[in-house]
């Protein structure tokens, strides 16, 4: 186990390297659909832009399963891909987000690694890597995700929502810090969704006297809108400021992340957080919290349940909204680059590992 886990960073980087094309393709297509629709919302049902949105959403939907599957692949070779990917899909479905996907991938890698150690008769060796190990591994990992991880996550999310609602709006600065941190923590995961749902519900509550959302609700949604775009833009800017601290794949993901952030897609920062969570997650949390608080102080308002700069046409206090975003981006980029060290840009070998598990099928 010690030998297997000492290369955890390498396993994470392998998963990230396979995940990045899904993030870039899916995220950029989704962002373009929202941008071309001309409004900070999902395009109308039945339109070509909605179809484009769905194509992009499919790419982002595969992001977590691919991450988990190839983390397991790095740990246990090809037999780990199916248990890891299915475990990652289930983790995403129950609301565990990319952090749940990482856990599922590591679990799958460990389970399959030890299944491969089981001694079997020679007649069984050819079917173990393509039938027995994926089957048992998927059952074990899927069962752990659904029956063990799922219930605690659901109860934590319920409690967190109640706590957030209990904070009220009496101290907007504290609320801004909390919302910004929650939005950034798991970048589209369950904690992010709780904070976003809180803001969207506030904006959706109409004041009978004015027929509009209250000014406080607009401020809360502005703080959330800034926090949504800060992580991907901040990490993209960080790759430009200190390119030697990022791999070539991360630098490409950074360019896409800036576009995704401007359109309000926080998931653009996930490749960086998955590869180096210890340094990246605290940096984006602090940056998003700083941006959110700045938006509160400057009095920006956002009537659209969306984030990024795509909401600027309908936002109030546009200058404050932009300044708040730049503050959050600057804090994120500077903090993460201070924490990070230069990296050796290595190409992940997709065929690395033990090839004894491969079976060749001849159909001649």
CA separation for the pair 220, 260 (Å, rounded): 22
Residue 324 falls inside a structural domain: yes
pLDDT score recorded for residue 183: 93
Residue 205 falls inside a structural domain: yes
pLDDT score recorded for residue 198: 81
- Helical H runs in 242-355? 248-263, 270-275, 277-298, 318-339
Residue 141 falls inside a structural domain: no
pLDDT tens profile 215-228: 788 888 999 999 99
Residue 44 falls inside a structural domain: no
pLDDT tens profile 247-278: 988 998 999 899 999 988 898 999 999 889 99
Mean pLDDT over 101-121 rounds to 90
pLDDT tens profile 53-84: 899 888 888 988 999 999 999 999 999 999 99
Q: Which span out of 46-55, 90-99, 239-248, 303-312 was modeled with the highest average pLDDT?
A: 239-248
Structural domain count, the chain: 1
| DSSP annotation string for 111-158 | HHHHHTTS---GGGTTTIIIIIHHHHHHHHHHHIIIIIIHHHHHHHHH
DSSP 269: G
Residue 275 falls inside a structural domain: yes
Instruction: Give the domain range for residue 302.
Output: 168-343
pLDDT score recorded for residue 38: 66
Mean pLDDT over 267-290 rounds to 93
Residue 360 falls inside a structural domain: no
Task: Report CA torsion sign: 315, 318, 322, 328.
Answer: negative
CA separation for the pair 163, 199 (Å, rounded): 14
Q: Are strands 212-213 and 206-207 parallel, antiparallel or unpaired?
A: antiparallel
pLDDT score recorded for residue 30: 79
Q: Which span out of 3-7, 27-31, 93-97, 103-107 was modeled with the highest average pLDDT?
A: 103-107
Residue 84 falls inside a structural domain: no
DSSP 78: G
Residue 107 falls inside a structural domain: no
Angle between helices 318-339 and 215-241 (to 10 degrees): 40
């Amino acid at each position: 186990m010690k030998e297997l886990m000492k290369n955890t960073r390498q396993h994470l980087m392998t998963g990230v390297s396979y995940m990045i094309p899904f993030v870039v393709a899916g995220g950029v297509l989704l962002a373009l659909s929202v941008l071309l629709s001309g409004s900070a919302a999902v395009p109308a049902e039945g339109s070509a832009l909605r179809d484009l949105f769905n194509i992009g959403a499919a790419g982002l939907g595969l992001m977590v399963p691919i991450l988990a599957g190839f983390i397991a692949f790095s740990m246990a070779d090809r037999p780990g891909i199916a248990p890891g990917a299915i475990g990652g899909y289930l983790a995403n479905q129950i609301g565990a987000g990319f952090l749940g996907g990482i856990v599922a991938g590591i679990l799958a890698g460990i389970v399959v690694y030890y299944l491969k150690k089981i001694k079997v008769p020679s007649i069984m060796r050819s079917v173990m890597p393509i039938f027995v190990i994926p089957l048992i591994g998927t059952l074990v990992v899927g069962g752990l995700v659904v029956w063990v991880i799922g219930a605690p996550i659901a109860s934590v999310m319920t409690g967190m929502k109640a706590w957030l609602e209990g904070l009220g709006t009496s101290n907007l600065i504290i609320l801004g810090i909390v919302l910004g941190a929650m939005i950034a923590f798991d970048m589209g995961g369950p904690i992010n969704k709780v904070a976003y749902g809180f803001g969207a519900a506030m904006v959706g509550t109409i004041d009978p006297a004015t027929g509009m959302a209250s000014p406080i609700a607009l401020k809360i949604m502005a703080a959330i809108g800034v926090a949504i775009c800060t992580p991907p833009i901040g990490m993209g800017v960080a790759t430009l400021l200190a390119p030697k601290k990022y791999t070539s794949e991360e630098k490409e993901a950074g360019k896409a992340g800036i576009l995704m952030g401007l359109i309000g897609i926080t998931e653009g920062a996930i490749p960086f957080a998955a590869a180096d969570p210890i340094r990246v997650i605290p940096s984006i949390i602090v940056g998003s919290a700083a941006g959110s608080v700045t938006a509160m102080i400057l009095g920006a308002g956002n009537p659209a349940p969306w984030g990024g700069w795509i909401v600027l046409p309908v936002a109030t206090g546009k200058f404050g909204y932009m300044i708040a975003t730049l503050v959050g981006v600057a804090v994120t980029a500077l903090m993460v680059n201070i924490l990070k060290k230069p990296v050796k840009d290595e190409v992940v070998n997709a065929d690395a590992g033990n090839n004894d598990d491969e079976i060749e099928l001849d159909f001649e």
